[in-house]
Amino acid sequence: MGRFRQKTKPTVFGNPNSIILFSRVFLYASYKTAFDYFLSMNLATAFSTCAQKNSQKIAMSFGEREISYAELLAQSQKVAAHLQSNFGVKPGARVGIWLKNCPEFVVCVFGILQADAVVVPINNFLKPAEVNYILNDGGIDVLISSEELTVHFPELSAARPQ
């Protein structure tokens, strides 16, 4: 942030000490006609729009595995539908993700967002007691995890209030 302040002239966009103000002024000046459109867009709709426009392009790669935008969108929509129909996730509900670094993490993030729920990422290095604290404190009733981490589920379930 110090470099930003030193290289920016105060007369260009107003207050150079505020990156947020700088960004808002830039967006407003650049996209004045589409400003309301961008304000109404959230991450799930932005991703969906991007995925539809770039369906055959590679969205992400993990090792030798490549996933196109179309695949990522389809998988995340399945996650959203599954969360809503099988777990009763409603808009605004908090859903935890306790996964190691993998493509499924990204799929789950967009799936949760498409279900209009709140993503609560949980560090996979945390101990079960720490995860349980986050689950209780955050009001998380649905947790997405890998088979590898499910060995901790009995310990988590036992500590959850009934």
Segment 94-136, tens digit of pLDDT: 999 998 888 899 999 999 999 999 999 999 899 888 999 998 8
Query: Where does the pLDDT of residue 148 fall: very low under 50, low under 70, confident under 90, or very high at 90 and above?
Result: confident
Segment 45-95, tens digit of pLDDT: 888 888 888 889 998 888 888 999 999 999 999 999 999 999 999 999 999
| Cα 140 from Cα 117, distance rounded (Å) | 11
- Residue 161: its pLDDT value, please? 66
Q: The pTM is what?
A: 0.72
Segment 29-44, tens digit of pLDDT: 444 445 555 566 788 8
Task: Confirm if 153 and 127 have CB atoms less than 8 A apart.
Answer: no
- State both tokens at 34: 């589409």
Boundaries of every domain in the chain: 1-40, 77-159
Please report the sign of the dihedral spanned by the C-alpha atoms of residue 143, residue 146, residue 150, residue 152.
negative
Quick one: residue 75, left, alpha or beta (phi over 0 = left, psi -120 to 50 = alpha)?
A: alpha
| Cα 37 from Cα 31, distance rounded (Å) | 10
- Residue 7: its pLDDT value, please? 34
Q: Which CATH class is domain 77-159?
A: alpha beta
